[in-house]
Amino acid sequence: MNTSNCIQPNKKLFEHTILSAFYILVFVVGLVLNVWGMKSLLHNWKKLWSINILVLNLGLADILYLLTLPFLIVYHLKGNKWIFGDGFCKVIRFCFNLNLYGSIGFLTCISVFRYLAVVHPTRAMGRLTPTHSMVISTVIWILVGVQSLPDMFYPKTYPNGSKCFDTTSYEHMESYLDYTIAWTVIGFGIPLVTIVGCYGHVTVVVCRSNMMKKDQKRRILKLMALLILLFSLCYAPYHVFKNLSLYSRVLINQGTCPKWDSGVFIARQASRGLVSLHNALNPLVYLCLYEEMVSQIRQLLTGGRQIFSRCFKSKSSSVPVPQTEQEVGSDL
């Protein structure tokens, strides 16, 4: 393998500093928002009908991944030195894939449910039961698990266990690239086409409808905009640059160093941070489906402004006002 002509990027800056800081931010914000969102969901269980089961599973998938982040944070802060063993490295990477493609699957099903409720309300009424949602959720977990399982058979660490690859070693890169491309098409491409098709039709129906209230239209369009944001900001860059990075490593393994390798590496690290961000953005789905949670946030913000205003007024009133010469003379 000839890598002498390859320009090595500053891996310490991107992997050890930026990525670890990003993971810390996602862990704190994502854990707080997901716990809060699931608490609100369970408190108002009957108000969300059968779609609440899909949203609950989405939250469980996010929390599953968030609980693995402390180990990755330690890994990157230690300069990419894995101290938890080969088996646990595979478990961590499996949980990431389970969360990522589970989230995509549940977001896709939520989109289909909204599509049926808006475009075919009479056909969907009474047919989208909680039992159907439970069966669909179980099927998604099984399919995602089967899809992610082959990844565990690829080497994830060096013989001395010092690394924990999110892909695999150079020796297995070509077969892993083929597997990842198929994985991308099935786990990301098909859901993306499904969501775009559903919400494209939903947008036309909502804009033409004269029977829907403005609040209903706004809620539906908000959810559509959020899902498009998630796929365009978090999921799409990750899959594009992951496959480009793997292809670059295949070329390097064959003795060719592509000129774009350094740029792809930087974009790849950025996409890894962005894809973890979806765990903090997914709770926004609760806001689109659950109006009372929005009112709770507004109350918190209003209360915070009032507290800040009171503190500011009390401080300003406690500051002594300087007297003028005339006022001093009159006092005398």
Domains of the chain by start residue, with CATH: 11-294 (1.20.1070.10)
Residue 264 has pLDDT above 60, yes or no: yes
Looking at residue 213, its pLDDT comes to 79
> What pLDDT does 162 receive?
79
Mean pLDDT of the chain: 81
One-letter amino acid of 7:
I
Q: What is the pLDDT of residue 226?
A: 79
Angle CA(78)–CA(24)–CA(229) in degrees, nearest 5?
Answer: 130
Which position has the token pair 């060096």? 158
- Identify the pLDDT of residue 46: 64
Instruction: Assess whether pLDDT exceeds 90 at residue 240.
Output: yes
Q: Which DSSP helix (H) or strand (E) runs through 213?
A: none
Reference 34, options 249, 286, 235; nearest CA is 286
pLDDT the model gives residue 328: 38
Q: How far is Cα 27 from Cα 220, in angstroms, rounded to an integer?
A: 28
Q: Distance between CA 154 and CA 170 in Å, rounded?
A: 11
For the CA atoms of 258, 262, 267, 273, what is the dihedral angle to 10 degrees?
Answer: 130
Q: What is the largest CA-CA distance in the chain?
A: 95
On the question of pLDDT at 123 being above 80, the answer is: no
Convert the pLDDT of each residue in 169-187 to its tens digit: 888 999 999 999 999 999 9
Q: Which two tokens stand for residue 149?
A: 């399982």
Segment 93-121, tens digit of pLDDT:
999 999 999 999 998 998 888 888 888 88
* Average of per-residue pLDDT across 195-203: 87
User: What pLDDT does 326 receive?
Assistant: 44
Q: Which residue has the higher pLDDT, 292 or 117?
A: 117
Per the model's pLDDT, the better-predicted residue between 240 and 316 turns out to be 240
Whole-number pLDDT of residue 171 = 87
pLDDT for 16-37, tens place per residue? Answer: 788 888 899 999 999 988 888 8
**How does DSSP classify residue 322?**
P
Tokens at residue 156, please?
């994830």
User: What whole-number percentage of the chain has pLDDT above 90?
Assistant: 32
- Per the model's pLDDT, the better-predicted residue between 99 and 321 turns out to be 99
pLDDT at 325: 46
Query: pTM, whole model, 2 decimals?
Result: 0.82
